[in-house]
C-alpha cells in the first residue's frame, strides 16, 4: 500500500488570474459591446412588433370598412324590397294625425282604395275616431259601396249624435240610393244641429227636386241663397226647379245669375241656351252654345242644338 503523507495541505487559496487581452485605443470594452448587441436585438424586436402592429391596424381598418358596408347593404335591402314589392304598400305613419292626413291626401287625389286603407288602419288604433268614420263613409260613397257608407256614417252618429256633417253625408248617400224621403229626414236632423249650413238646404232641395216637389225645392234653394248668395250652383239648381215648374223667366234669370258669378259655368250657358231656344231667341241661344264650346269643345249635346238652330234659321230664309 502506498504510504500516506502526514503533511497538512495548505489552506491558502490563491485566486487565479483572469486572462487578459489587449484592447485597442478607442475600442469599447467587452461589457459595452454586449449591451449594444442586446439593444440592437431589442430594437429589431421592437421594429418587428411595430410592423405587426401597423399591419394589425390596417387589417382592422379594412375589417371595419367591410362591416360598415355590410351594415349599409343590410339596411338598404328592406327598402329595396319594399320599392320592388307589388302592389306598393303604404308605409305606416308614426303618428295618428299623419295617418289621417295621408288618408285625406289619397282621398283628394281620388286614390280611394288607398284612402280607405288608411282610415281602416286608423280606426283599428282609434275605434272612436269620429272624423275617420266620416271620411271612411265618404270614400265608400265614392266607391259606390253605399250600404257600407251608410254603416260608417251611422257609426259616426253613434259616437257623436250631434255630428251634423255625418247626418248630411248620410242623407247624400241615401239620396244616391234613391231613398229621397229618408235622405230628407237625415237632412232635417242635420239642420236641427246646424241650421246655418247652406249645403244642407241645397241637398234637401235636390231631394225635393227628385220627388218632383219643385216648389219646396225652390224654397230650399232660396234658404241656401240667403246664407250663401255668391255660390253659382245654388242659382243653377234653382233655375232647374223653376224650369220644371214652367217658370221660364225665373229660370232665365237664375241661369244668368249663375253665369254672372261664374262665367266659365258651361252647364249654365247650355241650359240658358235651351231656355233661349224655347223663347224663340235663336241668335242668343247660338251665342250661349258657342260659349259652351269655348269652355268645353267636347260638351255633349251642344252640337246637336246648334244644328237645330242653323236648320231653323236656314228654313226661315
Cβ–Cβ < 8 Å for 259, 240: no
Cβ–Cβ < 8 Å for 112, 142: yes
Q: What is the pLDDT of residues 60-76, one digit of tens each?
A: 666 666 666 555 545 54
End-to-end CA separation in angstroms for the chain: 184
Reduce the DSSP state of residue 81 to 3 states and report it.
helix
Which pLDDT belongs to residue 316?
81
Q: Is the dihedral of CA 86, 87, 88, 91 positive or negative?
A: negative
Has this prediction a pTM greater than 0.85? no
Residue 111 grid coordinates: 286614390
Q: What is the pLDDT of residues 179-189, one digit of tens each?
A: 999 999 999 99
Backbone angles phi, psi at 281, to 5 degrees: -90, 75
Q: What is the pLDDT of residues 91-105, one digit of tens each?
A: 444 455 689 999 999
Burial 173-195 (b: 16+ CB within 10 A, else e): bbbeeebbebbbbbbebbbebee
Q: What is the pLDDT of residues 122-151, one digit of tens each?
A: 999 999 999 999 999 999 999 999 999 999
Which pLDDT belongs to residue 193?
96
Residue range 252-267: mean pLDDT, rounded = 97
Q: Is the dihedral of CA 280, 239, 299, 174 positive or negative?
A: negative
Q: What is the pLDDT of residues 72-93, one digit of tens each?
A: 545 544 443 444 444 444 444 4
Q: What is the pLDDT of residues 27-54, one digit of tens each?
A: 444 556 676 677 766 676 767 766 665 6
Amino acid at each position: 500500500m502506498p504510504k500516506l503523507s502526514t503533511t497538512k495541505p495548505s489552506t491558502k487559496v490563491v485566486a487565479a488570474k483572469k486572462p487578459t487581452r489587449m484592447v485597442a485605443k478607442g475600442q469599447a470594452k467587452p461589457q459595452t459591446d454586449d449591451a449594444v448587441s442586446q439593444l440592437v436585438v431589442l430594437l429589431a424586436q421592437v421594429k418587428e412588433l411595430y410592423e405587426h402592429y401597423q399591419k394589425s391596424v390596417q387589417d382592422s381598418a379594412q375589417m371595419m370598412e367591410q362591416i360598415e358596408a355590410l351594415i349599409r347593404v343590410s339596411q338598404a335591402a328592406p327598402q329595396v324590397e319594399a320599392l320592388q314589392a307589388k302592389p306598393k304598400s303604404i308605409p305606416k305613419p308614426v303618428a295618428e294625425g299623419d295617418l289621417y292626413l295621408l288618408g285625406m291626401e289619397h282621398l283628394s287625389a281620388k286614390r280611394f282604395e288607398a284612402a280607405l286603407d288608411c282610415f281602416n288602419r286608423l280606426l283599428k288604433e282609434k275605434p272612436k275616431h269620429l272624423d275617420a268614420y266620416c271620411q271612411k263613409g265618404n270614400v265608400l260613397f265614392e266607391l259606390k259601396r253605399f250600404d257600407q257608407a251608410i254603416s260608417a256614417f251611422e257609426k259616426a252618429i253613434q259616437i257623436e249624435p250631434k255630428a251634423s256633417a255625418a247626418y248630411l253625408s248620410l242623407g247624400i248617400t241615401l239620396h244616391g240610393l234613391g231613398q229621397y224621403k229618408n235622405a230628407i229626414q237625415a237632412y232635417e236632423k242635420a239642420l236641427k244641429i246646424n241650421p246655418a249650413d247652406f249645403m244642407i238646404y241645397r241637398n234637401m232641395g235636390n231631394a225635393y227636386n227628385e220627388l218632383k216637389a219643385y216648389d219646396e225645392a225652390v224654397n230650399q234653394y232660396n234658404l241656401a241663397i240667403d246664407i250663401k248668395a255668391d255660390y253659382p250652383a245654388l242659382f243653377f239648381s234653382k233655375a232647374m226647379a223653376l224650369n220644371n215648374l214652367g217658370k221660364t223667366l225665373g229660370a232665365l234669370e237664375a241661369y244668368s245669375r249663375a253665369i254672372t258669378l261664374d262665367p266659365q259655368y258651361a252647364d249654365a250657358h247650355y241650359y240658358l241656351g235651351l231656355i233661349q231656344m224655347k223663347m224663340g231667341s235663336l241668335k242668343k241661344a247660338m251665342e250661349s252654345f258657342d260659349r259652351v264650346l269655348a269652355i268645353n269643345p267636347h260638351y255633349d249635346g251642344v252640337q246637336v242644338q246648334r244644328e237645330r238652330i242653323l236648320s231653323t234659321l236656314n228654313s226661315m230664309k
